Structure 1
Amino acid sequence: MSESLQYITNQEGEQVGVLLDMETYRRLVSLPSDAEILSGLSLDELPALADSMLAPTAQTQLSELLARNAENQLCTEEIAVLNRLLTQVDQLNILKTRARYTLNLHS
């Protein structure tokens, strides 16, 4: 088979099936079905992601806003910035955890 993918169609021309070459099939079958796995990243990229941090300027801004927030000194706009930064930290922590989880599956 010269192509890795071919479609099977019914009489109306609707795609109803797929034919894969064996290499593509084996690669797909060997993929875990866990939605938390970060696929498409190399084993060199995963540790870099697992060890990533908030950008230094954002980390400095976050630290300053948290300190001022503890003293109830933030205006509405600063509270919004603080919430945005905290959301970024949460999302980064989720990605880092997923990267570590994916790495553990490969070890």
Structure 2
Amino acid sequence: MSDSARYLVNEQGDRVGVILDLDHYQRLVNSPTADPDYLIGISPTELHALANCKLAPTDQTRLDDLLEKQTNDQLSETEITQLDQLLAEADALTLLKTRARYTLQQNKDLAQAS
């Protein structure tokens, strides 16, 4: 058993708790996996792919068309709904791409610190 962790066991011998030394606890609390923006369980190759992805070409073309129509005040109610949906998807994609880049940078920083 490691000196940094001790386990609490019940009467049946099952582990029910753990006591960590402060250094070990601090490493766990400050690890990237405790960060809600850090993407867990995604390989570096997948993170690179995600960081560089784009809207599907048909969605991007439709978004461009709708934005142009919007500048001329020619959008129908249906088109306004479509535009809102495409903009929401583009925003979500941008957030995911940013989180992928952030995770890659955190991984790089951790590797350099080791």
Aligned pairs for 1:1-107 (under 5 A) are 17=16, 29=28, 31-32=31-32, 33-107=34-108
What amino acid maps onto 1:40 in structure 2?
G
When the two structures are superposed, what TM-score results if normalisation uses the length of structure 1? 0.73
Structure number having the greater helix percentage: 2
Query: CA shift at 1:17, angstroms?
Result: 2.8
Runs of 4+ more than 4 Å apart: none
Query: CA shift at 1:106, angstroms?
Result: 1.2
Structure 1 unaligned residues grouped into runs of 5+: 1-7, 11-15, 20-28
- What SS class does the counterpart of residue 45 from structure 1 fall into? helix
Percent of aligned pairs with the same residue? 43
What amino acid maps onto 2:100 in structure 1?
A
* Partner in structure 1 of residue 3 of structure 2: none
When the two structures are superposed, what TM-score results if normalisation uses the length of structure 2? 0.69
Distance 1:34 1:43 in 2: 18
Q: What is the root-mean-square deviation of aligned Cα atoms in Å?
A: 2.3
Count of residues in correspondence between the two structures: 87
